[in-house]
Amino acid sequence: MPSSFRDKVIIVTGASSGIGLASARLFGSLGARVVMAARRLPLLQELAPSVAPADRVLCVGCDVSSEADTAALVDATVKRFGRIDILINNAGLSMRAYFKDLDLSVLHRLMDVNYWGTVNCTKAALPYLLESRGQVVGVISVAGFSPLPARSGYSSSKYAVRGFLDTLRVEHMKDGLNVLVFAPGYTSTNVRNAALTADGTPQGSTPLEEGKLMSAEAVALKLASALKQRRKQVILTPIGKLTAGLRKFFPRLVDRITYSYIAREGKVPQSEEKQ
């Protein structure tokens, strides 16, 4: 695998924690030149030595919901490394609230980060990715294939990302651009602690046993393998594959199973009752 990524220029958004940080570290260890993007620039700079030597890593403070920030991210990358080979759209937010209870600003925030963040970064980087015959990745979720209760904004944004990337793939099927839709299952990250509740405040805790979930490092390895093979779509877990497959033929059954499965998390947090 190292020869597949040596000297490749790889942008990773949401690189300050979780899958993004694990991926940045993995690609750095494989000889890539890594661009770490996230809103918290000081944290990125603190983490950068664990990713790659100083001359092979670039930290850029970036809010992916901002067109100006994403354009600046791409400009800084090209100025420093001269090219872009892979864009990993990983930055994202989750939520925990029923639609009937939430403030619509929560849905706007989810779409701004998850969907528009992917669109903004891809639009800015696309000319360079076409030039390098590179790859663009959208890290979504099984929620982008089958809806999850209390995740209306999250599922909607992930469905939208999948639709956008699938369309992009068809548009550029003759250009050498590879487009990967990558759907991990439950992964041990900070995403549930940071998930927005009905009024937009963070949940602050997780309802799951994080130690029993797939590690971010394991997900990063799967992502690297998919990129090496230039895959088009990956759903990681058996239950994710089963859910996406069954929904095509037995949607009502999948709805009932999904409802029961998510109910194991306990009561969905409301704005005044954060678990």
CB 32 within 8 A of CB 8: yes
For 39, the 3-state DSSP assignment is coil
Residue 194 backbone phi and psi in degrees, to 5:
-85, -5
Is 154 designated active site? yes
Among 111, 90, 74, CA closest to 227: 90
Furthest CA-CA distance within the chain: 53
CB-based contacts of 168, cutoff 8 Å, min separation 6: 122, 136, 177, 179
Kindly name the residue from 154, 159, 186, 259 that is annotated as catalytic.
154
251's enclosing H/E stretch is helix 251-263
Tokens of 76: 């800084």
Q: Which residues pair with 214 in a beta bridge?
A: 187
For 42, the 3-state DSSP assignment is helix
Catalytic residue ranges: 154
